[in-house]
Amino acid sequence: MARPSHVRSAVAGLLGERHAWTVDEAHAALRDRGVPADRASVHRALTRLVADGEARRFELGPRAHFERASSHHEHVVCEDCGEIAAVPGCVVDDAAVARRTGFAVTGHSVTFSGRCAACSR
């Protein structure tokens, strides 16, 4: 297969199902759906989607995670179940950093940790 790209479209579909995926998670999910693909292909598909602006990559702990490209948001990870949720809106103050450090701030990477509603109970 070439243009439609078997693996890539399947991977793109995954991005709509859940917030964040690691390469291995996506790989396993495809296998479960009867779409076996090589890890490398999944990795390349995700990398391609990022290059095309359809996905975004972020690092969380020791491995890379991918999510569908959308409006800017931060992430919060549940320490118990590992669930990753988006934090809507802006919760950091770039201007304050610029004021305090003398740096011209161009971006930030933020990850919150905590416990999701289910694990809190």
Q: Which of the residues 8 through 47 are near its own copies (CB under 8 A)?
A: none
User: Per DSSP, what are the bridge partners of residue 59?
Assistant: 64
Chain position carrying tokens 């669930």? 83
Identified binder of DNA from the candidate list 28, 64, 85, 105, rule CB under 7 A: 64
Question: Which listed range, 42-50, 75-83, 98-106, 112-120, lies at the site for DNA (CB under 7 A)?
Answer: 42-50
Question: Which listed range, 1-9, 68-76, 99-107, 109-117, lies at the site for DNA (CB under 7 A)?
Answer: 1-9
Cα–Cα distances in angstroms (integers) from residue 52 to residues 3, 59, 69, 80, 109, in the given order: 14, 19, 10, 34, 21
Q: Is 48 in the site for DNA (CB under 7 A)?
A: yes
